[in-house]
């Protein structure tokens, strides 16, 4: 189930799509609409914009959360994220990420290490 602290944001609906890494990104419907609007206008060439839109929207699923805070993960997204059994749901600022538990542990270690490196580089600028 979606953790209770996140459910309020998702009560109007949730859009699931491929995450940049091997995870599923879950956007509150209102935030997805804002993201979709920004993806229709961009400073890239029309052909690149079309490709971006295909990649993003072809894998997007608009769903509702049931009374127990659950959402069915569509098969194409489960396959992409290698989700078979246990998942980890983590906040990522304006959206959630749904991870295969093993892949999350690997990503978490890498992210923590790189986060400090990024912070240090920001402090130098």
CATH number at 34 reads 3.40.1550.20
Where in the sequence is the domain holding 39, given as residue range(s)? 4-123
Number of domains the chain contains:
1
The 10s digit of each residue's pLDDT in 33-47 is 998 888 777 677 788
E strands along the chain, which residues? 14-18, 24-28, 61-63, 87-92, 95-100
The fraction of the chain above a pLDDT of 90, given in percent, is 49
The rounded mean pLDDT for the chain is 89
71: how many CB neighbours lie within 10 A of its CB?
A: 19
The fraction of the chain above a pLDDT of 70, given in percent, is 98
Q: Which residue has the higher pLDDT, 14 or 50?
A: 14
The 10s digit of each residue's pLDDT in 71-95 is 999 999 999 999 999 999 999 888 9
């Amino acid at each position: 189930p979606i953790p209770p602290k996140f459910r309020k944001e998702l009560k109007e609906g949730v859009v699931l799509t491929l995450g940049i890494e091997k995870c599923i990104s879950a956007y509150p419907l209102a935030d997805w609409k804002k993201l979709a609007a920004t993806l229709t206008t961009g400073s890239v060439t029309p052909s690149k914009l079309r490709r971006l839109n295909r990649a993003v929207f072809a894998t997007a699923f608009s769903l509702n959360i049931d009374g127990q805070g659950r959402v069915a993960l569509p098969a194409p997204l489960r396959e992409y994220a290698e989700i078979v059994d246990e998942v980890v749901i983590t906040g990522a600022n304006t959206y959630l990420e749904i991870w295969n538990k093993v892949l999350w542990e690997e990503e978490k270690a890498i992210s923590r290490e790189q986060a400090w490196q990024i912070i240090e580089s920001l402090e130098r600028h």
